[in-house]
Structure 1
């Protein structure tokens, strides 16, 4: 049986056993689920040398430098980050991988590598670095003023930033407009539910509740699996408006005011993730704030919030609604009991949103290297394997070394890059290795690359994203993550999981080749995987690719108490786990890079 599996994998690598006609848009007949392999098979000869070259020992040598105090936490636009970027570029150069960054100024220019021709690709006309210019927000001030008129009396109420509301939106503007209450801001044709029915959102400010109708009621149609994941997952609540903000923008809204639907239940989500029910004051308590950076032509560091978005307090929302003789609680009750929208124009109030930001330009760099595919027919198609290189830098005397986040992901990319470089059999498709800047500030490096790709996005067939891949789970953490992510893991399956070999993978929904690549790769590694199809609207560097419809896989291991803390250090890394995940990525990538997307046998 093992020999048969190994032969099957080898045939698929050679492209003579195609499993699908395309990388994307394939009907996904499998909603995901567990994939357990307890007895892995040997890697086929086509990928053997690269596979066995991936070791925890090598990863340890890279990580000891990347997570050292010398680099001072690899903060964006710092000397520590620049040293890390030079280090990984030197490794790419040593392994013989070609540079795939910016054009060198005195070299012949071409829009991208695929249009440059073979001679241009082979010439030293590119750098390993892609410059990313960012706008750093030094300070933001502002206010929201509500002006109302009732019984001939004009009233004005000013709400204060940091007390009544918060916002990640930055820039300088003054928006004055009427306000509409749009329920939960949901449009679900399959449920015949539309919070925008009968109201005009264009050129208005939209107030919406998060979550969905009937949050506390088991019979709510929004508790069906598909909608439960879309509207009730804590991570979606934590990241603001997600689909709602996008919908409001499509309706022509000028700005969005987000209101917490269940403040008592949803408070302290970050603490619930890690089961922190009290503040640990045995050590330093760090200000969670960090440098605010965004790309120069954006006022929003969050790509899910295409228009100015504010998180406002329930008290502020109630005051605004009350100016029109309405009650926020009553409107909410109507929605929850009838499952029908209670949307309306708040006709007696106008809001003025004032924001002013002081900024400066800073510069950082992505690091890009490429291995050109061996097959003339499909080498113009590209697999992108990436991880973010940046972390949080320093806070006072404390250095955030980021061994797991994301020194581990960087080491994974380095291991996979070296494996491709030393493997005698080259992949049919081209493989781009990318180390992104600015992930911790809002996916800036990967977002910039997607806007300025070395290879056309139309020819980018998959993105594999490595973020925090070196920490093992405990059963307690798995239970906590199950609650946080809203995952319905049956108890029987939960008991079968070997937490030392367990990993949660997210992948693009509707991509059969990606799903099969993961399963075939895991046959060689032997992990217990929970594979979850998703839209990809998450807080890591696969998201910009997902927004462009590019199939993706997100490799992520355990969430721990050390997340974004100085205690995320080298001695807590599991090198065996890092080795296994890196081998899984390598085998998955080689499988995809050998895929025949036209369903033809490649000779």
Structure 2
């Protein structure tokens, strides 16, 4: 009986051992699909001139999206985008319309830019008369922070630097009423130019610009004019110099069209709660500082030494502002595929943006590294995971985001419209994984940013780098809630753990010279392999075991 029991135990052990060995072999075989030849084949087309720079709403981006969807289909990845409907042909009887998921998630964005209809008026009551001085856009002022045609006619108030610090009882808004007014505000904060001053040491801010906007909005301001303690004497656009527009290889006497001339927002969004922000010329600032009755140098020194607010009301002065916006509604597409897991309700989202800057002034911005490299990374990982032949425990969604360059709009839309974002256990992001910085002479440095509380992600990556002989010198950065200019940010904002892979910034960033010929294929392949190994492990593990235990006090 004992011999029979021992035989059964040995049989079970050998079966389990064989299963583990088979699983290890399947991963070993799958990782071989991530190779230089395969990466080149995909990126050479995705970052070719045929794609016309993949600007999110253009023909090139739609071609790129179709290519990405076709590759997902070739690799056996199921579609998980919008439902599409097929209808029977005329004359077909007994055939019902059929609904099935597509590879595309379509949505609308609003692209907008400043129009020529701009005006700024400084209005004063002088001895019973009304004095109006008009200033020209681009010569005396510039404007940002608006999305639609806007008109403002409001009184003004001076708020010093426009900062607050409760622990020091310093508050530039405490003794003035800014509700419904335009605030005049100096850049910086008390002592910010003198790093040895007590004010600088006590008042250092980590997010000064966003804090300033938040405080002004909370106080009820409806606009802000930014003043400078060092006046910009070169402010404005001159019109007489030949070849006055220089940018990279472009020298022109006419303003070249630029990608960033137009901004974009999701069409489903509310208007952003932001302040119209006005930058002004030296002569307009001189007009305003006379009205404030303030000497700039004395103000700066006094604020630094005494930490006392100089805010004051300004009577008899109003500012009129009119700004026109030109906008258009366009459709863009995320590309989505998935490998369904044993658990259909727990997800890992693996993503990279496929859009880039498009085609301007005869130049095609191919974006081989930004972010053709990351997109090919996601496709390659999808292929490798499918090649393991094993159904993962969690469902894995593969996403090629659009409109990242317009403000992370593709990933933001996905997160806002995912049914139960709490079911996403992890987002893995790839952005610019194919190049090295000028300082990286060895050519093996890369970065992984991750949600800090999941410190086990770092240890897991280190193990895979060492065990698989990957030539990567990885800098790990853990943050409480990672934020930044890539598509992991909308996930982190919703408390979804993230891991983001990047290689380096380089001089070809957002230039027409970001071409396939400059890609470092071995480095790119090693980063993708590391991503694959991590995702394969995490898709089949309890993510909680990578989380730091927290102690409740």
TM range (shorter): 0.7 to 0.9
If asked which structure has higher relative contact order (CA below 8 Å, sep 6+), I would say 1
SS of corresponding position for 2:53: coil
Counterpart in the other structure of 1:471: 435
The aligned counterpart of 2:550 is: none
Judge which range, 70-79 or 440-449, deviates more.
440-449
Deviation at 1:418, TM superposition (A): 1.5
Q: Which of 537, 552, 561 is matched with 2:498 structurally?
A: 552
Separation in 1, partners of 2:546, 2:520: 41
Does residue 93 of structure 2 align to residue 129 of structure 1? Answer: no
- Worse overlay, 434-443 or 171-180: 171-180
Shift of 1:471: 0.9
1:67 aligns with 2:47: yes
Give me the TM-score of the superposition, normalised by structure 1. Answer: 0.72
Call closer, same or farther: CA 1:202–1:569 in 2, change over 3 Å: same
Q: Residues 386 and 160 (structure 1 numbering): CA distance in 2 closer, same or farther, change over 3 Å?
A: farther
With over 3 angstroms needed to count, the CA separation of the structure-2 counterparts of 1:83 and 1:324, relative to structure 1, is: same
Q: Which has the higher strand share?
A: 2
> Given the superposition, is the C-alpha separation of residues 126 and 595 from structure 1 closer, same or farther in structure 2, using an over 3 Å criterion?
same
Q: In structure 2, what is the Cα distance between the partners aligned to 1:556 and 1:435?
A: 16
**What is the aligned partner in structure 2 of residue 97 from structure 1?**
77
- Please state whether the residue corresponding to 2:412 is helix, strand or coil: helix
Residues 389-448 of structure 1, C-alpha deviations (whole Å, 9 max, x = no match): 111221232211111111111111111222222223443322221111112222222222
Q: Which structure 2 residues correspond to residues 228-239 of structure 1 after superposition, within 5 A?
A: 230-231=207-208
Change (3 A) 1:505 1:331: farther
**Unaligned regions of 5+ residues in structure 2, if any?**
1-22, 88-97, 236-244, 548-553
Are 1:514 and 1:552, in contact at CA under 8 Å, matched by a contact in 2? Answer: no
- Find the aligned partners of 1:596 and 1:101 in 2 and give their Cα distance: 27
3-state SS in 2 of match to 1:564 = coil
- Matching residue of 1:383: 348
- What secondary structure, in the 3-state scheme, does the structure 1 residue paired with 2:505 have? coil
Shift in Å at residue 362 of structure 1? Answer: 1.3
Query: How many residues in Structure 1 have an aligned counterpart in Structure 2?
Result: 496
Structure possessing the higher radius of gyration over alpha carbons: 2
Q: Following the alignment from structure 2 to structure 1, what is the Cα–Cα distance between the partners of residues 457 and 303? A: 40
Q: Does 1:436 align with 2:425?
A: no
State the alpha-carbon separation in 1 of the partners of residues 430 and 540 from structure 2.
21
Task: Show structure 1 runs of 5+ residues with no match.
Answer: 1-42, 108-122, 232-240, 268-277, 479-497
What secondary structure sits across from 2:345 in the alignment? coil
Matched, 1:373 2:379: no
Distance across 2 between alignment mates of 1:192 and 1:516: 44
What is the RMSD computed on CA atoms of the aligned residues?
3.7
CA contact (8 A) 1:209 1:259 kept: yes
Indicate if the aligned counterparts of 1:246 and 1:306 stay in contact, CA closer than 8 A. Answer: no
3-state secondary structure, aligned to 1:72: helix
Cα 1:294–1:227 change in 2 (3 A) is: same
Give me the whole-angstrom Cα distance separating, in 2, the residues matched to 1:336 and 1:428: 59
Mapped to 1, the partners of 2:229 and 2:425 lie a distance apart of: 39
Note the alpha carbon deviations across 1:48-94, whole angstroms, 9 max, x for none.
44434322321111110011111111122211111100010111122
The answer for the alignment partner of 1:296 in structure 2 is 267
Please, which of 373, 385, 388 is the counterpart of residue 423 of structure 1? Answer: 388
2:150 aligned with 1:173: yes
Report the CA distance shift for 1:147/1:399 in structure 2 as closer, same or farther (over 3 A). same
TM-score (norm 2): 0.78
> How far apart are 1:470 and its partner, in Å?
0.9
1-structure distance, mates of 2:423, 2:178: 37
Query: What does 1:399-418 align with in structure 2 at a 5 Å threshold?
Result: 399-418=364-383
Could you tell me whether the CA contact under 8 Å between 2:190 and 2:203 is conserved in 1? Answer: no
In structure 2, relative to structure 1, the CA distance for the partners of 1:513 and 1:148 (3 Å cut) is farther
Distance 1:346 1:575, change over 3 A: farther
Q: 1:396 aligns with which of 361, 373, 379?
A: 361
The alpha carbon displacement at 1:506 in A equals 3.4
Q: Would the aligned equivalents of 1:135 and 1:293 in 2 still touch at CA under 8 Å? A: yes
Separation in 1 of the partners of 2:430 and 2:384? 16
Deviation at 1:105, TM superposition (A): 4.9
User: Is contact 2:159-2:184 (8 Å) kept?
Assistant: yes
Relative to 1, partners in 2 of residues 1:556 and 1:279: Cα closer, same or farther, differing over 3 Å? farther
**Residue 205 (1) aligns with residue 205 (2):** no
Matches within 5 A, 1:117-516: 125-137=100-112, 139-140=114-115, 141-149=117-125, 152-163=128-139, 164-167=141-144, 169-189=146-166, 193-219=170-196, 227=204, 230-231=207-208, 241-259=209-227, 287-288=257-258, 289-297=260-268, 306-313=273-280, 315=282, 316-374=284-342, 376=343, 379-453=344-418, 455-475=419-439, 499-516=442-459
**C-alpha separation in 1, matches of 2:200 and 2:498:** 27
The aligned counterpart of 2:551 is none
